[in-house]
């Protein structure tokens, strides 16, 4: 018995023995096996901390003023008529923190006919922010955190997809490119549809790639879920539909006329459609309201030549899709047909230019990433032709589809509309750098890769914290507002710096023309005096005048009567021309120009 006890004690002693060398070796082995994922995770962690630092000092943008209240009413009241020109995914995600903040809320029935207001969207957001003035900064910060999380999720997806296609090193390099690009850092923190659309588009391509490799029920279901999420991210993701239908049509055409394979394909296609429809309707709480008289009137006014056909199509569609989604899709078609006032290289047009997004991309991304993107596309085409490497197609085809789509867009307002194409450039860039590092002349490859990545790092530091208004060296000869307009040069998030500057000088009022300033400036204790309500060239009654870069550009200046008549287009565009030739006392975030009025 004593012998048995001593044996048990010995065993316990053996278990408790700590062997530092073996433990360290095991840890190092674990790290080596996962070093690519750990490095990518560290990069995305630093990226998220950087975006958190930015939202702690910058205000919400003009679009977020409307998107955040709309998301809250979507989430808690199931009221989807607010901002129905965008699907609800990004709005609902942003509103989740509000469940814990518990902001003051107004019932929809109290807002339907607001006094002195022309539309419900504006009335909702005005009332929401007025009722929650004390918690403005808390709401502004926490509602943007889910967008940062989604951006990190996009980085993870880029890593997984790139690793599956080209290996671990290429995947890490793709994440490096993603985490250093100023355009991603700018829009990855904003409550809008652009980064969710980039995530959804890449997710569909990833799931399609996996399904084509192994056509199983599980992968067909995952593809359907990805399609549903993409459609809920941005209405432009409807472009996924025709290519997917074409792929299934080709698969069916190539399958035997009879037998289980053909039946399985048809069942998979049905499953993809059903799951996508299920997710879409779930996001709208399975509610599809009746068309109202206001809806019918809007359709008649917006599509006068096709009002009967459009009205006839809306009713059956509303049995498959929520009515608010159908109306939102129609609104986007109308918006694209009408166009949007825009500016490009000193030119002005409402219907846009086919080359707008290529030019905007060339000016807004960092120069090393631009050069790498062009070189990577050439490398992809060369590899496809010379090596018959079919996996290149999963990068080139989605990129080409989305690029062609935006070339035909007449809504030329922000480079952010092109963001769904970026992940394919990051993956292609990582793959081409990896190929360069595997060449016989390794030192040359290492030198080129190191130079490009270091240059991108320098540009990322140079852009901080004003990534929204970042332009590369190609736009160095003129003010940025001359090259592009709208959210490319000003989106309202620099109002806090303006407010702090004016309050430090004892100012309580300012004549201004700012994106979102009419709403956010009051949150920081300043009275916003609308500069656009005064005749052009008149002397303001405040010591300072603040003008946003997009208003200096002129494309966003609204049409308002001048001396009892509507202005001509040159008069509208040049409303602030006198200020273009004056030196500002201060510039905030490269987006707000502050001028002191001589006494």
pLDDT tens for residues 209-234? 999 999 999 999 999 999 999 999 99
Residue corresponding to tokens 């989305």: 402
Residue 160's φ and ψ, nearest 5 degrees, are -65, -45
Considering 14-28, 149-163, 332-346, 550-564, the range whose residues carry the highest mean pLDDT is 149-163
Predicted confidence (pLDDT) at residue 114 exceeds the cutoff of 50: no
Query: What's the pLDDT at 21?
Result: 77
233 close to 199: Cβ distance less than 8 angstroms? yes
Range 258-275 average pLDDT: 91
Q: What is the pLDDT of residues 547-573, one digit of tens each?
A: 999 999 999 998 877 767 788 889 899
pLDDT band at 261 (very low <50, low <70, confident <90, very high): confident
Q: How high is the pLDDT of residue 518?
A: 82
Q: In sequence order, what are the beta bridge partners of 529?
A: 511
CA atoms of 111 and 123, how far apart (whole Å): 7
Q: Minimum mean pLDDT among 9-18, 146-155, 169-178: which range?
A: 9-18
Strand pairing class (544-548; 509-513): parallel
Per-residue confidence (pLDDT) for residue 96, from 0 to 100 = 98
Domain positions in the chain are 58-143, 490-596
* Three-state SS annotation for 171-208: HHHHHHHHHHCHHHHHHCCCCCCHHHHHHHHHHHHHHH
Tokens matching residue 401: 């589809």
Percent of the chain with pLDDT over 70: 93
pLDDT one-digit tens code per residue, 71-102: 999 999 898 988 899 999 999 999 999 999 99
pLDDT digits (tens, 9 = 90+) for 487-517: 999 999 999 999 999 999 999 999 999 998 8
Mean residue pLDDT across the chain: 91
Instruction: Name the token pair of 180.
Output: 């250093």
Mean pLDDT across 148-169 = 98
User: Any idea of the CA torsion for 578, 554, 465, 87, to the nearest 10 degrees?
Assistant: 160
Rounded Cα gap, residues 76 and 81, in angstroms: 14
CB 578 within 8 A of CB 547: no
Helices assigned H by DSSP within 214-290? 217-233, 241-254, 260-283
Q: How far apart are CA 575 and CA 567, in angstroms?
A: 9
Express each pLDDT in 274-323 by its tens digit.
999 999 999 999 988 888 888 888 899 999 888 889 988 998 999 999 99
Q: Which two tokens stand for residue 519?
A: 């709403």
Is the entire prediction scored with pTM above 0.75?
yes
| pLDDT score recorded for residue 294 | 84
Q: What is the mean pLDDT of residues 266-281?
A: 97
Question: Would you state the structure tokens that stand for residue 552, as one six-digit string?
Answer: 């200096």
> Stretch 398-425: mean pLDDT, rounded?
97
Residue 486 CA, chain-centre distance (Å), reads 15
Name every residue whose Cβ is closer than 8 Å to that of residue 448 and which is 6 or more positions away in sequence: 436
Residue 594 has pLDDT above 60, yes or no: yes
Q: Residue 482 contacts by C-beta under 8 Å, 6 or more apart in sequence?
A: 345, 346, 553
For residue 536, what pLDDT is reported?
Answer: 64
Give the position of tokens 């679009």.
63
Which comes out higher in pLDDT, residue 273 or 257? 273
Are residues 241 and 332 in contact, defined by beta-carbon separation less than 8 angstroms? no
Report helix, strand or coil for 566.
Answer: coil
Three-state secondary structure call for residue 594? strand
- What per-residue string of b and e applies to 522-542 under the rule 16 or more CB within 10 Å gives b? bbbebebbebeeeebeeebeb
Residue 2 pLDDT level (bands cut at 50, 70, 90): low
Q: Residue 117 pLDDT > 80, yes or no?
A: no
Return d(Cα 589, Cα 498) in angstroms, integer. 9
Give percent above pLDDT 90 in the chain.
74
- The end-to-end CA distance of the chain, in Å, is 104
pLDDT at 108 (0 to 100): 59
For 471, the 3-state DSSP assignment is coil
| Packing angle, helices 145-166 and 168-180, rounded to 10 | 150
């Amino acid at each position: 018995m004593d012998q048995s006890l001593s044996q048990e004690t010995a065993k316990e002693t053996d278990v408790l023995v700590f062997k530092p060398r073996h433990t360290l070796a095991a840890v190092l082995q674990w790290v080596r096996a996962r070093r690519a994922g750990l490095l990518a995770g560290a990069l995305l962690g630093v990226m998220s901390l950087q975006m958190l630092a930015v939202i702690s000092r910058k205000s919400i943008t003009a679009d977020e003023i409307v998107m955040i209240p709309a998301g809250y009413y979507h989430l808690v009241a199931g009221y989807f008529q607010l901002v129905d020109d965008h699907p609800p995914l990004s709005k609902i995600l942003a509103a989740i923190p509000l469940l814990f903040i518990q902001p003051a809320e107004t019932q929809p029935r109290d807002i339907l006919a607001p006094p002195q207001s022309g539309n419900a969207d504006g009335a909702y957001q005005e009332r929401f922010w007025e009722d929650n003035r004390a918690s403005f900064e808390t709401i502004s910060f926490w509602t943007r955190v889910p967008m940062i999380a989604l951006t990190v999720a996009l980085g993870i997806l880029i890593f997984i997809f790139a690793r599956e296609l080209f290996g671990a090193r290429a995947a890490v390099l793709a994440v490096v490119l993603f985490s250093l690009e100023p355009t991603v850092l700018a829009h990855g923190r904003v409550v809008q549809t652009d980064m969710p659309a980039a995530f959804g588009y890449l997710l569909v391509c990833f799931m399609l790639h996996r399904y084509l490799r192994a056509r199983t029920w599980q992968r067909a279901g995952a593809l359907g879920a990805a399609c549903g999420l993409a459609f809920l991210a941005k209405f432009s993701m409807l472009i996924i539909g025709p290519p997917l239908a074409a792929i299934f049509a080709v698969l069916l055409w190539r399958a035997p006329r009879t037998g289980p394979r053909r039946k399985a394909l048809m069942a998979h296609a049905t499953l993809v459609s059903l799951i996508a429809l299920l997710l879409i309707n779930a996001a709208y709480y399975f509610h599809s309201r009746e068309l109202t008289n206001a809806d019918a009137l809007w359709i008649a006014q917006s599509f006068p030549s096709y009002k009967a056909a459009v009205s006839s199509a809306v009713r059956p569609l509303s049995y498959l899709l929520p009515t608010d989604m159908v109306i939102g899709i129609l609104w986007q078609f109308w918006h694209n047909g009408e166009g949007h006032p825009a500016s490009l290289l000193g030119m002005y047009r409402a219907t846009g230019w086919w080359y707008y997004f290529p030019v905007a991309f060339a000016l807004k991304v960092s120069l090393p990433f631009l050069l790498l993107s062009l070189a990577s596309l050439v490398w992809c085409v060369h590899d496809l032709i010379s090596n018959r490497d079919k996996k290149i197609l999963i990068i080139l085809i989605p990129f080409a589809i989305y690029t062609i789509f935006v070339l035909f867009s007449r809504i030329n307002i922000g480079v952010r509309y092109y963001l769904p194409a970026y992940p394919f450039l990051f993956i292609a860039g990582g793959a081409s750098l990896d190929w360069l590092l595997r060449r016989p002349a390794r030192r040359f490859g290492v030198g080129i890769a190191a130079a490009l990545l270091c240059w991108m790092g320098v540009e990322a530091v140079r852009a901080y914290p004003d990534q929204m208004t970042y332009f590369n060296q190609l736009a160095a000869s003129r003010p940025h507002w001359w090259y592009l307009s709208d959210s490319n040069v000003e989106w309202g998030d620099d109002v806090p710096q303006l407010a702090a500057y004016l309050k430090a000088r004892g100012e309580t009022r300012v004549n201004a023309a700012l994106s979102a300033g009419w709403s956010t400036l009051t949150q920081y204790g300043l009275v916003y005096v609308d500069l656009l309500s005064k005749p052009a060239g008149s002397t303001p009654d405040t010591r300072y005048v603040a003008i946003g870069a997009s208003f200096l550009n002129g494309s966003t200046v609204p049409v308002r009567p001048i001396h009892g008549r509507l202005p001509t287009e040159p008069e509208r565009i040049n409303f602030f021309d006198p200020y273009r030739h004056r030196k500002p006392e201060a510039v905030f975030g490269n987006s707000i120009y502050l001028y002191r009025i001589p006494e």
